[in-house]
Amino acid sequence: MGLGIDFQVILFFALGLVLLYFTGWLLLAPLKIILKLIISGILGGILLWLINLLGGIFSVTIAINPISALVAGYFGVPGIILLLVLKLVLI
């Protein structure tokens, strides 16, 4: 009284499911990192814009160029603070 399914078929099916799981996990890990960088970059750009908007009153502005955008995008709020401290110390 069997179903007529060989044990090897079930074993290969289970192995295929495990490989599919690990492949999906490997593909999703970089997407999480990219999504985090995009969110951090948007937040950094908004903060650069706000500092330039409000800092114009006190003559404290940060130039928005590729370097400052990369620092703000990669480091987020600490990067903005770093750019602000560098601006105040060097100039």
Task: Return the number of other C-beta atoms located less than 10 Å from residue 60's C-beta.
Answer: 14
Each residue of 37-84: pLDDT tens digit? 778 778 888 888 888 898 888 888 888 887 887 788 888 788 888 888
DSSP at 74: H
For the chain, the structural domain boundaries read 7-90
Model confidence at 3, pLDDT cuts 50, 70, 90, reads low
CA distance readout (Å), 32 to 27, 46, 54, 91: 9, 21, 33, 38
pLDDT for residue 1 is more than 70: no
pLDDT for residue 29 is more than 80: no
Using an 8 Å Cβ cutoff, are 80 and 51 in contact? Answer: yes
Q: What share of the chain is helix, strand, coil (3-state, %, to 5)?
A: 80, 0, 20
pLDDT of residue 15: 87
Three-state DSSP class for residue 22: helix
Q: What residue has token string 């289970």? A: 14
pTM above the 0.85 mark?
no
